[in-house]
């Protein structure tokens, strides 16, 4: 591919492909891209105009069919594309990738059609082998787009890919060398909006090097339901802290000094907040489609948006786009009384978001909401909550009428065009044309802001150098260290100074079936690579040989895949409702304190409303972690036992805390970061961004929509594991962060 460059003395660098058939115009001593190829300078090609002016001009020139293409935001694209029941099939010149002779970054037959025939311009990129391959793929996509009538460039989006793990569906953007940071809940544990801004800057730099220009983040739901499987992706349960962290991250991502070629557009999610899911069940699954508000606290869930992502300190002013959640917020439609998914609700999207809070930017639905629903406990299938029995075209029409602009995961234009026809019948062609143009302006505006019309191509040779560069990796590692929370340190047994001999028992994972119906094998394994431990300590095989033991603990969940659904096929097949508790304790939990009648319910395939799981029992897959700790405590004969807990949110610690001399909680960080702290090379400084429950009953009693309303655990040393609690080597931390956010939470 031959990419040509033309510079402007007081303007942007212009790049274009020699093979696209497009060139450069000169006017008033300045250069512009001739995106139509006809030698005339149109307003949308004039970089001197504002993104708004350019977007309006271009939208007015597009056909309804072309606008419909802009409204599609693809499902996951991988390098190479491959065949899977979940993600569909990909071919290369009619062959599967393994049978072709094409490079890993080649575009699939399907991707070529999406760009050239469908006019799709937003693509979600997930797994890639390396940054350079991603960049080369992006350049090919941009070249195809540049050849089109108006030369509209492509925007590549990504789910978070900077974590140290990528096991969840909504965090599956794995592959390639890149800096590693804690989960969002770990970023929140630093209580530092400045660090969140640094994180956003690192993400933007590495994304742009790969050709990624839209981030499907940050997730800024107020995490008021402690059992929610997506808790780890949030900034915690304090609205004051979450708002400041959202503000910092978006400023770093989009650029404090304004939009430019280093900016990445943020898609803040999930409006109006998805953290109040009933009993912790997640809305990716039909069994978890409802959000409930027993505390009448709906408005506080808006604060991370209204005082955070929509109130940036930098010149971009607000997050460039918003994604509503799947959930049905029961009883929160104050106008029409509709209990439907957020993107289907006019009160939530138009009245609140658009009108009350003045948000006139791109709104993109969450993925797959126009598709038909799947099994109750599986991720596959659509998430059309509240409109399950409506045809796909009617779903698309309702989404547009209620105020959203783009369809996440929709790969075909036909239902969008049918929605247009429905609108013409109801409102007339002129009105419906204007409705489409309104969305087109919002969609195109971000492409102009990001400089893609002038310079859509990536420097492929630099991609691998920028991604995973030493500076970003060091900053990410520092953030990992700062995010860990020291909960207990009896007799100051930490740090383990010097080359102490440590014993680390093996960890057991039972066999079973994960949420994608894949077989998971049973295994005993070393939780930490021996070579990693040996950088800090001398590792021994027997407890009696050790000076201290390090026990690795996982957060209790029902299965090793990480997706607690709160639904059991076995319960359903044995005559029950199918609904079961979500547990956060190691020993079997029987829900004697649960509601006898659920606050929400209803599904076209169910002949009952009550989704209560009262009296039912749930078992954690990692119960043996507790057994191993207890056995290790006995075997160590009074020598220190340190529990290192890899958590994703609140959990019951009363079962194991008395057996541990020290407890260090972290949020999906590297073992190097954990061992750096244990060895005393760095001092812990993290604070709990949530409350730690005294028991599962305390979790049952708290209200799904209310933050900081849970009875907190008091450990054997008298420490209360409440919001903003944490320790350093000197004792409990009582610094300005604790004072600031303790006071601000009361104000909010």
Domains identified in the chain and CATH numbers: 476-559+620-747 (3.40.50.1700)
Q: For residue 575, what is the DSSP state?
A: T
CB 506 within 8 A of CB 526: yes
CB 412 within 8 A of CB 88: no
Residue 486 has pLDDT above 90, yes or no: yes
Q: What is the pTM of this model?
A: 0.96
Q: What is the model's pLDDT at position 260?
A: 95
Q: What mean pLDDT comes out for the span 368-372?
A: 97
Q: What mean pLDDT comes out for the span 552-568?
A: 86
User: What are the residues facing 261 on neighbouring strands?
Assistant: none
Q: Rounded to whole angstroms, how far apart are CA atoms 468 and 212?
A: 15
At 744, is the pLDDT very low, low, confident or very high (cuts 50, 70, 90)?
A: very low
Residue 262 has pLDDT above 70, yes or no: yes
Q: Token digits for 385?
A: 């909550």
Question: pLDDT tens across 314-344, in order?
Answer: 999 999 999 999 999 999 999 999 999 999 9
Task: Indicate the helix (H) or strand (E) that contains 34.
Answer: strand 30-34
Question: pLDDT tens across 112-164, in order?
Answer: 999 999 999 999 999 999 999 999 999 999 999 999 999 999 999 999 999 87
Q: What mean pLDDT comes out for the span 605-633?
A: 97
Q: What is the model's pLDDT at position 83?
A: 64
3-state secondary structure of 568: coil
Q: Token digits for 126?
A: 């997930």
Q: Which has more confidence, 683 or 747?
A: 683
Residue 513 has pLDDT above 80, yes or no: no
3-state secondary structure of 69: helix
Q: Give the percent of the chain with pLDDT over 90.
A: 92
Torsion over CA: 282, 283, 286, 289 (sign):
positive
Q: What is the model's pLDDT at position 563?
A: 72
Q: Give the percent of the chain with pLDDT over 70.
A: 95
Q: Rounded to whole angstroms, how far apart are CA atoms 209 and 571?
A: 49
Closest Cα partner for 548 from 513, 592, 497? 497
Question: pLDDT tens across 53-95, in order?
Answer: 999 999 999 999 999 999 999 999 999 997 665 556 899 999 9
Strands 485-489 and 662-666: antiparallel
Q: What is the model's pLDDT at position 10?
A: 87
Nearest 5°: phi and psi at 384? Answer: -90, 55
Average pLDDT over the chain, rounded to an integer: 94
CB 41 within 8 A of CB 87: no
Question: pLDDT tens across 595-606, in order?
Answer: 999 999 999 999
Q: What is the model's pLDDT at position 520?
A: 76
CB 51 within 8 A of CB 448: yes
CB 501 within 8 A of CB 545: yes
Q: Rounded to whole angstroms, how far apart are CA atoms 132 and 125?
A: 14
Q: What mean pLDDT comes out for the span 384-392?
A: 97
At 562, is the pLDDT very low, low, confident or very high (cuts 50, 70, 90)?
A: low
Q: What is the model's pLDDT at position 438?
A: 98
């Amino acid at each position: 591919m031959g990419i040509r460059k033309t510079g402007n003395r007081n303007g942007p660098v212009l790049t274009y492909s020699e093979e696209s058939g497009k060139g450069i115009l000169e006017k008033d001593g300045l250069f512009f891209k001739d995106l139509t190829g006809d030698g005339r300078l149109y307003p949308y090609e004039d970089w001197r105009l504002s993104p708004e002016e350019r977007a309006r001009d271009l939208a007015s020139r597009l056909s309804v069919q072309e606008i419909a293409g802009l409204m599609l935001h693809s499902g996951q694209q991988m390098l190479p594309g491959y065949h899977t029941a979940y993600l569909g099939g990909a071919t290369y010149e009619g062959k599967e990738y393994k049978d072709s002779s094409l490079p890993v970054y080649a575009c699939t037959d399907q991707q070529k059609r999406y760009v050239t025939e469908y006019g799709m311009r937003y693509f979600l990129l997930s797994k890639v082998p390396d940054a350079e391959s991603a960049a080369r793929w992006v350049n090919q996509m941009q070249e195809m787009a540049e050849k089109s009538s108006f030369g509209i460039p492509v925007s590549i989006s990504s789910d978070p890919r900077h974590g140290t793990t990528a096991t969840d569906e909504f965090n599956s953007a794995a592959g390639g060398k890149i800096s590693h940071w804690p989960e969002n809940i770990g970023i929140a544990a630093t209580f530092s909006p400045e660090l969140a801004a640094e994180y956003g800057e690192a993400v933007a730099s590495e994304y742009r090097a790969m050709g990624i220009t839209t981030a499907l983040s940050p997730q800024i739901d107020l995490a008021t339901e402690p059992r929610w499987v997506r808790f780890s992706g949030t900034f915690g349960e304090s609205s004051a802290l979450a708002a400041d962290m959202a503000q910092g991250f978006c400023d770093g991502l989009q650029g404090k000094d304004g939009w430019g070629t280093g900016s990445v557009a943020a898609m803040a999610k999930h409006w109006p907040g998805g953290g109040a899911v009933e009993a912790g069940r997640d809305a990716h699954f039909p069994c978890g489609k409802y959000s409930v508000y027993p505390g009448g606290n709906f408005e506080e869930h808006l604060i991370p948006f209204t005082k955070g992502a929509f109130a940036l300190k930098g010149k971009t002013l607000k997050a460039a786009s918003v994604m509503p959640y799947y959930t049905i917020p029961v009883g929160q439609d104050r106008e029409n009384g509709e209990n439907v998914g957020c993107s289907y609700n006019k009160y939530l999207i138009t009245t609140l978001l658009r009108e009350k809070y003045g948000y006139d930017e791109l709104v993109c639905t969450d993925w797959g909401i126009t598709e038909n629903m799947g099994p109750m406990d599986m991720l596959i299938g659509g998430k059309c909550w509240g409109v399950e029995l409506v045809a796909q075209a009617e779903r698309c029409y309702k989404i547009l009428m209620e105020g959203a602009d783009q369809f996440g995961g929709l790969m075909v234009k036909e239902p969008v065009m049918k929605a247009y026809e429905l609108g013409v019948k109801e409102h007339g062609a002129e009105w419906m044309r204007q409705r489409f143009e309104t969305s087109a302006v919002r969609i195109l505006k971000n492409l102009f802001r990001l400089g893609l019309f002038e310079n859509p191509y990536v420097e492929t040779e630099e991609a691998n150098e920028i991604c995973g560069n030493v500076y970003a990796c060091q900053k990410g590692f520092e953030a990992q260290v700062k995010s860990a929370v020291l909960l207990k340190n009896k007799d100051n047994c930490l740090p383990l100074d010097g080359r102490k001999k440590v014993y680390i028992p093996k960890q057991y994972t039972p066999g079973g079936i994960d949420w994608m119906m894949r077989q998971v094998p049973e295994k005993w394994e070393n939780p930490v690579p021996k070579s990693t431990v040996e950088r800090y300590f001398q590792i021994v095989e027997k407890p009696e040989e050790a000076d201290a033991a390090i026990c690795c603990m996982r957060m209790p969940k029902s299965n090793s895949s990480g997706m607690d659904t709160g639904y059991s096929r076995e319960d359903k097949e044995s005559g029950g409702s199918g609904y079961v508790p979500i547990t956060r304790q190691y020993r079997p939990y029987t829900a004697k304190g649960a509601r006898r009648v659920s606050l929400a319910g209803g599904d076209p395939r169910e002949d009952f409303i009550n989704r209560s799981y009262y009296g039912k029992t749930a078992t954690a897959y990692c119960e043996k972690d507790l057994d191993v700790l207890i056995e290790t405590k006995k075997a160590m004969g009074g020598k220190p036992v340190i529990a290192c807990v890899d958590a994703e949110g609140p959990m019951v610690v009363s079962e194991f805390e008395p057996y541990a001399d020290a407890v260090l909680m972290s949020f999906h960080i590297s073992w190097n970061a954990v061992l750096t702290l244990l060895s005393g090379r760095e001092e812990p400084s993290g604070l709990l961004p949530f409350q730690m429950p005294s028991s599962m009953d305390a979790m049952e009693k708290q209200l799904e929509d209310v933050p900081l309303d849970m009875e907190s655990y008091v450990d054997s040393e008298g420490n209360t594991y409440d919001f903003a609690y944490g320790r350093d080597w000197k004792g409990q931390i009582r610094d300005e962060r604790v004072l600031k956010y303790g006071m601000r939470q009361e104000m909010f």
